[in-house]
Structure 1
Amino acid sequence: MFATYLIGLREGLEATLVVSILVAFLVKSDRRGRLPQVWLGIGAAVALSVLFGWLIEYTSTTLLDTSDERELFDAVTSVAAVVFVTWMIFWMRKAARSIAGELRGKLSDALAVGAFAVAGMAFLAVVREGLETALIFYSAAQSAAGGASRGPLLALIGGILTAVVIGFLLYRSALKLNLSKFFTWTGALLILVAAGIFKYGVHDFQEAGVLPGLNNHAFDISSVLDPSTWYAALLSGMFNITATPSVLEAIAWVAYAVPVLLLFLRKPAAPARPAAPPAAPPAGTDTPVTAPQRA
């Protein structure tokens, strides 16, 4: 549940910040009349995201007949979720400083076109976060609870509601939050969550018969990590760390988590300094003179 809460909080805050930028721009530019179009686009993005999440769940539970088909479907969605999580984390780290200016520029262009363009721009700005949330949530919930509990869904909703409250307080200047540190810490935790999802995807590929070695365990720490304890449940639900993983599962978890985490946490290179202007020639030396050009 904490993993899905983190997903809802992180993705929800990103979407909330996008909405805040759009609304603040219209309010400050005295164009409140365009707010209904923005909210229409946002509502359509939320509706499509919910529909996408329902479609994934419906496909897994109803459209697929055999357990092997469901395992293979879950494996593919898990790998896709890991790709989206990784891309989202690194993209947000790179674009965080320029996203506000880009959104204002796109909204200005949309305002010049008309109401439909404003709604479409708001829709596109939010729908990416919504679709990512639906896909990542499904994979995280499957790896944590096998889809048998409503706890992950409630945790996701709780994370989104928390993000909305934080976003509103930031918009009203009632709360100060170091967003750089927030996205760094949540990004690092999401990388570990994604490693667990990737491990779960490998496990599903093995159960579907695509990959071998399902019963070839890398180690057995059941005596130390008792599955019935709360901390074992926390590690399993949060990062999919289990007592008896297969060799391929363990390799997948480490092969993803270690390099991606190191790349994410390393300090970005400092921007290059502009070249210094050429030094003025010493007094008394001849300097070339450019002849004035004729009009």
Structure 2
Amino acid sequence: MLAPFLIMLREGLEAALIVGIIASYLRQTGRREWLPAIWVGVFLAIALALFTGAALQLASAQFPQKAQELFEAIIALIAVAVLVGMVFWMRRAARSIRGELQASVDAALDRRAATWGLIGMVFLAVAREGLESVFFLLAIFQQSRDGAAPFGAALGLLVAIGAGWGIYAGALRLDLRRFFRWTGIFILFVAAGLFASAVKALHEAGLWNALQGPVYDLGTVLPESSPLGTVLAGLLGYREAPSLGECLAWAGFLVVMLPLFLRPAAPPPARLKPMEQK
């Protein structure tokens, strides 16, 4: 439950920040008449995400067993890719996102079809977050069959909407840089677990048969079905009896991704000062 909650909190907050920055800029520049176009873009993006999720879920139900395992592996790998892309994009864009969005709003409203330009801008921004959420949630729901994961995701989204509204209204102050840094570290651990689960699914689909020797078996000490095992499985990708391939995939992913994410951001290029006249 905790992993879907935090992922949806972050995804929802990213979308809320984008919408809030655009709405605030329109309000500050005296262009409130364009605000309804924002909500049209938001609702279209939500509809696209829901349709995509339902279509993928219905399609997977028609597959035979091995094809379902392959489908789960593909979804998990896509989820890993979008999660990694999400955390590195926010790490890179956090400093300049406000200015870029405001410039995009001005450009959209200067066109002849200004309404459609603004709707399309909001739609693309929110749809990106929505589709990322779809692939992540599909991968998580395939691993967790109980109702805790959907409940956690819904709760995270509700909290994100409330936080986004609070930031827009000026009633809530968050250290967004620190928030995105720590949630980014957490998301990389979740992505490592999904990457390891993709290796397992590829084996069950008959496409990966190497490194299948068990590393350890903690089924009698800390089973995945126990409360602590469930939490660790959702947070860190814990498996009670993982294969060598799964362990190498989990550890190798983190060895590569964590240093890349934690390294200091490159400073912006310094502007050259004009030569002083003598």
Task: Give the letter for the 1:169 counterpart.
Answer: G
For normalisation by structure 1, the TM-score amounts to: 0.88
Report whether the alignment pairs 1:81 with 2:79: yes
CA drift at 1:277 = 8.0
Q: Secondary structure at the match of 1:118?
A: helix
Is this contact kept in 2: 1:206–1:214, CA < 8 A?
no
CA drift at 1:215 = 5.1
Residues in 2 aligned to 1:228 and 1:149: alpha-carbon distance in whole angstroms: 11
Is this contact kept in 1: 2:217–2:240, CA < 8 A?
yes
Is this contact kept in 2: 1:34–1:115, CA < 8 A?
yes
Is this contact kept in 1: 2:212–2:245, CA < 8 A?
no
CA separation of 1:194 and 1:33: change in aligned 2, threshold 3 A: same
Structure 1 segments unaligned to the other structure (5+ residues) = 282-295
In the TM superposition, what are the counterparts of 1:90-239 in structure 2 within 5 Å? 90-113=88-111, 114-143=114-143, 145=144, 148-213=145-210, 216-239=213-236
Residues in 1 aligned to 2:109 and 2:271: alpha-carbon distance in whole angstroms: 36
1:266 equivalent in structure 2: 263
In the TM superposition, what are the counterparts of 1:13-24 in structure 2 within 5 Å? 13-24=13-24
Residues in 2 aligned to 1:280 and 1:214: alpha-carbon distance in whole angstroms: 69
Is this contact kept in 2: 1:207–1:214, CA < 8 A?
no
CA separation of 1:16 and 1:280: change in aligned 2, threshold 3 A: closer
1:29 equivalent in structure 2: 29
**Of 264-273 and 130-139, the range deviating more from structure 2:** 264-273
Residues in 2 aligned to 1:272 and 1:21: alpha-carbon distance in whole angstroms: 25
Q: Which has the larger radius of gyration?
A: 1
1:285 equivalent in structure 2: none
Q: Secondary structure at the match of 1:22?
A: helix
Q: Secondary structure at the match of 2:240?
A: coil
The count of corresponding residues between Structure 1 and Structure 2 is 276
Residues in 2 aligned to 1:235 and 1:111: alpha-carbon distance in whole angstroms: 48
**Of 15-24 and 223-232, the range deviating more from structure 2:** 223-232
CA separation of 1:153 and 1:28: change in aligned 2, threshold 3 A: same
Task: Give the letter for the 1:163 counterpart.
Answer: A
The RMSD of aligned alpha carbons is 2.0
Task: Give the letter for the 1:21 counterpart.
Answer: I
CA drift at 1:271 = 4.6
- Structure 1, residues 95-121: CA drift from partner, whole Å, max 9, x if none? 111111111111111112221111111
CA drift at 1:273 = 5.2
